[in-house]
């Protein structure tokens, strides 16, 4: 169910683009993101910071796209989001000596501190990769190619999540704090 909630704004965005144009698609994305945020809140009774930031960026860049009739704003929104996430995670780790991933997920995943640190670096690299690839496609390819990339680019997070799962699996601690379990 969560995957459907996460995917439906981009699915509606692509469909609206294919049927109409980037401006209708942008308006649809804005509305779908508001609905998505409401659904997440209804299910979880809270919103993660990422959901709030995504909603604000979609609305701000969407309004700029529509008001200025300039598609560059909506095309660069993912780059701004990903780069911001990389900067926040890196600054927290290196400047404030806080591991935001561990703070956010530590109650759900029990991992050694060194693994949390490497995992955060992996996330920083992933966010920088996603920011860079979106910037590259937005800058050097047509809007049609960028929209197709937004749809098929969902392979990157899926691959990333599977890879991250494979990385952390051997390090997971059971309830007694011991790595792995032999069940």
What mean pLDDT value characterizes the chain? 91
Mean pLDDT to the nearest integer, 148-157: 90
Alpha helices in 20-71 (DSSP H): 22-44, 49-68
pLDDT of residue 3 exceeding 60, the answer is yes
**Residue 19: alpha-carbon gap to chain centroid:** 26
Domain ranges of the chain: 1-68, 71-183
Higher pLDDT, 77 or 109: 77
Share above pLDDT 70 across residues of the chain, in percent, rounded to a whole number? 93
pLDDT for residue 156 is more than 80? yes
What is the mean pLDDT of the segment spanning 94-102?
A: 94
3-state DSSP call for residue 112? coil
- The string of pLDDT tens digits covering residues 42-81 is 999 999 888 999 999 999 999 999 999 999 999 999 999 9
* Per-residue confidence (pLDDT) for residue 115, from 0 to 100: 93
How much is the pLDDT for 181?
46
Region of residue 157 (left: phi > 0; alpha: psi -120 to 50; beta: else): alpha
Say how far apart CA 165 and CA 183 lie, in whole Å. 19
| pLDDT value for 87 | 97
DSSP symbol at 171:
G
**pLDDT per residue over 79-96, tens digit each?**
999 999 999 999 999 999
Burial of 152 (0-12, 13-18, 19+ CB in 10 A): exposed
């Amino acid at each position: 169910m969560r995957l459907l909630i996460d995917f439906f704004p981009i699915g509606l965005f692509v469909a609206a683009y294919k049927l109409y144009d980037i401006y209708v698609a942008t308006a649809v994305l804005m509305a779908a993101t508001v609905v998505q945020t409401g659904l997440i809140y209804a299910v979880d009774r809270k919103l993660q910071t990422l959901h709030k930031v995504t909603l604000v960026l979609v609305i701000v860049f969407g309004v700029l796209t529509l008001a200025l009739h300039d598609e560059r704003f909506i095309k660069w929104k993912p780059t701004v989001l990903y780069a911001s996430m990389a900067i926040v995670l890196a600054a927290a780790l290196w400047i404030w000596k806080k591991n935001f991933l561990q703070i956010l997920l530590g109650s759900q995943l029990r991992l050694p501190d060194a693994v949390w640190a490497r995992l955060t670096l992996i996330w920083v690299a992933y966010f920088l990769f996603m920011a860079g690839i979106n910037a590259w496609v937005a800058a050097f390819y047509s809007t049609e190619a960028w929209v197709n990339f937004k749809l098929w680019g969902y392979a990157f997070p899926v691959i990333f999540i599977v890879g991250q799962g494979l990385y952390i699996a051997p390090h997971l601690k059971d309830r007694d704090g011991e790595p792995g379990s032999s069940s």
